Amino acid sequence: MDFAFTQEQEELRREARAFLEANPEAPLSELRELGWLGVSVPEERGGGGLSFLDEAILFEEAGRALYSGPFLTTAVVLPALPEVDEQAWSIEVDGFVPDLLHVDRVLTEEMRSVPAEGETLATMDETRPLGRLTSSDGEALDGEWEPVRLRLLAALALEAVGIAQRALELGIAYVSEREQFGKKIGTYQAVAHPLADTYVETELARSLAYWAAFSVAEDEEQAPVAVPAAKAFCAETAVAACERSIQVHGGIGFTWEHPLHRYYKRAQWLDAFGGHAAVQRAVVAAALLD
Amino acid sequence: MDLRDTPAEAAFRAELRAWIEENLTDEVRRGRFEEAGRDWSRKLYEGGYAGLTWPKEYGGAGAPYSHQAIFLEEMARAEAPSHLGVIGLGMAGPTIIAHGTEEQKQARLDAILSTEEIWCQGFSEPGAGSDLAAVRTSAIEDGDHFVVNGQKVWSSFAHIADWCILVTRSDPDSQSHAGLTYLIVNMHSPGVEVRPLRQITGEAEFNEIFFTDVKVPVENVLGEVGGGWAVAMTTLLHERGTLGFALTAALEAQIRKLIALAKERGATDVQRDAIAREWIGLQAVRYTTYRSLTTLIKTGIPGPEGSGAKLWWSEANQRVTKLALELLGPEAQVIGDNGYWQHQQLRSRGNTIEAGTSEILRNIIAERVLGLPRSR
């Protein structure tokens, strides 16, 4: 049992964090130049020949930086293609397509590759609008939807961990500076304890997300349960982390100018896309009880 | 990253399972707490499973922490009784190894491993619970011994214990962390009186200990006179450090029973959701403990992420036991064959109080892990 990333993987995390902090709105092409697309696709199909665990680090860091390009969907689709291509991809789930306007093609649940044409809807998370396809006609791809779905849900869980982590960091920084009644507000237990809870839940969520990523990477038997378990817990943790952070920020946390609302909306986006936590838990419950 | 057993871990697990299969009879499972416990503890010692992570020079197996984790997992899976010497093995022993003189190690460690001597802990007092530094039990030096007076509370095993790890105030003019001395006290000394403390479940798992002019030889000081606080912290580090695996294992056994109950009685959609939630939480605690363990193996210090395990577990166990009563329906009030869930539900209220209240644990996380400004 070895539950740690390798030194190379930790190095990748440092690189990703530094790059995304400096360039949170970098175009997808720059991420491709960094070798971040097709990471887990075998080299003979044009990929990086690494593991989904390496990709996991990138999903988490993209979440932490609130990266807004179609990185997650493209990375999730590429292993399903015969060969890694240069296009930006999205994915249709329950009739919704994230970032429809910013991608070239869309993979549907019927495993069809469809041109990205359709309407974009006004979405609560403005940084990742949902769209609807005009037509789901397209060329059929070989392979099954299930591995794509598991990669997608695991990636959403990992991104949620990044969101929760950032919300926690923002909360810690604020309560360590802000003073009321002559004291730093972080000295008050009513303020500190919710952040302690966020820390505990974020670490639990992280463990589940890595477990899910490992299960996907190694094609483990438990993947169909581990992945929805992680998606449920991580998305709810991200939402709660943002809510607590908004609360300890007081009025400023409720404003448009503060970045927290963007994290909060992304967290809710992650919970909704692919099925809310209760939907994921129903899958887990069926595996345990039926 | 590889979350599967290494070949060495798999071999240890297989060997342990075979040993349990052979030794854990129904007689042991159903036996009365004390006699059966002594028997089982001796078997564990003879099997080489007592003090797995203790250094070999002190009679331990010198095994890696991962083996201790596997040991606890397999014991919980087999629903084995707990070792009678948990305080000796998990707290007193490691503290003696860290702070004891060679004479103290020679005199005490072997008997801890074999459970010939049972230990209890004298830390909390009626006026010093979460605020351990407020202890008032006095130890006044008088020639070659200390004279101890005072009262301790919440001491498991005190009614059968041979020895006690005792935190005392040796300097009557001192306050707080200074002036404390850590003593090893023979529970058979004149002036030691143990009274059982009947708790919410009706049983007496804990005791009060009264010390009246108890003479403790000076050679039984652990660490320095006046340096008891640092020694006590070593004990608590061990209490909380190895707790993660034991708690995960206990919660797994509990949730397995919960699932069996739900299958037998049926569950509503809301209850199914709650069961899934608890099972997911269990996996989260398990893998977080593994993550902390990996850091411990690589650096010698457990990772900070493990600090939330007890906090999460205690609240989860309270929810799980309540959920079980709910599955029993109106029958929940009726104590059936063994009253397992009724007992467990009441007992679970202690989980957020013992071994550090949830409030203290949140303070520790806020101040030491998150680095928030200190409240005191």
Q: What is the pLDDT of residues A194-240, one digit of tens each?
A: 999 999 999 999 999 999 999 999 999 999 999 999 999 999 999 99
Chain A (215-234) residues lying within 8 Å, Cβ to Cβ, of chain B = 226, 229, 232-233
Q: Give me the CATH number covering residue B337.
A: 1.20.140.10
- Specify whether A158 is located in the same domain as A284: yes
pLDDT of residue B186: 98
Chain A (233-252) residues lying within 8 Å, Cβ to Cβ, of chain B = 233
- Residue B104 inside a domain? The answer is no
Q: How many domains are contained in chain B?
A: 3
- Specify whether A21 is located in the same domain as A127: yes
ipTM surpassing 0.90: yes
| Structure tokens given for A41 | 């696709």
Nearest CB neighbour to B372, from listed A192, A208, A289: A192
- Specify whether A160 is located in the same domain as A257: yes
- Specify whether A178 is located in the same domain as A258: yes
Min Cα separation A142/chain B (Å): 30
Q: How many domains are contained in chain A?
A: 2
Nearest CB neighbour to B305, from listed A184, A203, A233: A203
- Assess contact for A123 and A269: CB atoms under 8 A: yes
Last residue of a domain, one of A105, A122, A140: A140
Domain that holds residue B171: 119-226
Residue owning tokens 């005009």: A134
- Specify whether B252 is located in the same domain as B343: yes
- Residue A17 inside a domain? The answer is yes
Q: Give me the CATH number covering residue B189.
A: 2.40.110.10
Last residue of a domain, one of A140, A165, A200: A140
Give, for all 376 residues of chain B, the pLDDT tens digit. 999 999 999 999 999 999 999 999 887 877 666 777 888 999 999 999 999 989 999 999 999 888 988 998 899 888 888 888 889 998 999 999 999 999 999 999 999 999 999 999 999 999 999 899 999 999 999 999 999 999 999 999 999 999 999 999 999 999 889 999 999 999 999 999 999 999 999 988 899 999 999 999 999 999 999 999 999 998 887 766 567 888 888 899 999 999 999 999 999 999 999 999 999 999 999 999 999 888 888 887 777 888 899 999 999 999 999 999 999 999 999 997 779 999 999 999 999 999 889 999 999 999 999 999 987 6
- Residue A99 inside a domain? The answer is yes
Nearest CB neighbour to A176, from listed B272, B280, B373: B373
> Cβ–Cβ of B372/A204 closer than 8 Å?
no
Nearest one of A131, A120, A134 to A273, comparing CA atoms:
A131
pLDDT of residue B79: 85
**Residue percentage of chain A with pLDDT more than 90:** 99
DSSP state of A137: -
Nearest one of B40, B22, B20, B21 to B30, comparing CA atoms:
B40
- Residue B376 inside a domain? The answer is no
- Residue B99 inside a domain? The answer is no
- Residue A113 inside a domain? The answer is yes
Nearest CB neighbour to A195, from listed B298, B311, B370: B370
pLDDT of residue B170: 96
- Residue B109 inside a domain? The answer is no
Min Cα separation A252/chain B (Å): 20
Domain that holds residue A40: 7-140
- Specify whether B251 is located in the same domain as B361: yes
b/e code A102-122 from CB counts within 10 Å (16+ = b): bbebbbbeebbbbebebeeee
Least confident of A7-21, A158-172, A254-268, B23-37: B23-37
> Cβ–Cβ of A4/B263 closer than 8 Å?
no
pLDDT of residue B356: 87
- Residue B353 inside a domain? The answer is yes
Min Cα separation B192/chain A (Å): 39
- Specify whether A60 is located in the same domain as A165: no
Chain A residues touching residue B375 (CB < 8 angstroms): 187-189, 192
Min Cα separation B301/chain A (Å): 15
Min Cα separation A270/chain B (Å): 18
Chain A (5-24) residues lying within 8 Å, Cβ to Cβ, of chain B = 5-6, 9
- Specify whether B254 is located in the same domain as B207: no
- Residue B167 inside a domain? The answer is yes
pLDDT of residue B32: 66
> Cβ–Cβ of A187/B308 closer than 8 Å?
no
pLDDT of residue B235: 86
Q: Which residue of A has its CA nearest to B262?
A: A289
| Structure tokens given for B229 | 């606080």
Residues 6+ apart with CB under 8 A from A276: A235
pLDDT of residue B246: 83
Q: Which residues pair with A120 in a beta bridge?
A: A131
- Residue B268 inside a domain? The answer is yes
Chain A (170-189) residues lying within 8 Å, Cβ to Cβ, of chain B = 172, 175-176, 183-184, 186-189
- Specify whether B249 is located in the same domain as B365: yes
- Residue A231 inside a domain? The answer is yes
Q: How many CB atoms lie within 10 A of CB B360?
A: 16
**Mean of pLDDT values over A51-57:** 97
Query: Is the predicted pLDDT of residue A51 greater than 80, yes or no?
Result: yes
Chain A residues touching residue B374 (CB < 8 angstroms): 187
Q: How many CB atoms lie within 10 A of CB B282?
A: 21
Chain B residues touching residue A9 (CB < 8 angstroms): 1
- Which amino acids of B are annotated catalytic? 239
- Specify whether B210 is located in the same domain as B157: yes
Nearest CB neighbour to A204, from listed B279, B288, B370: B288
- Residue B311 inside a domain? The answer is yes
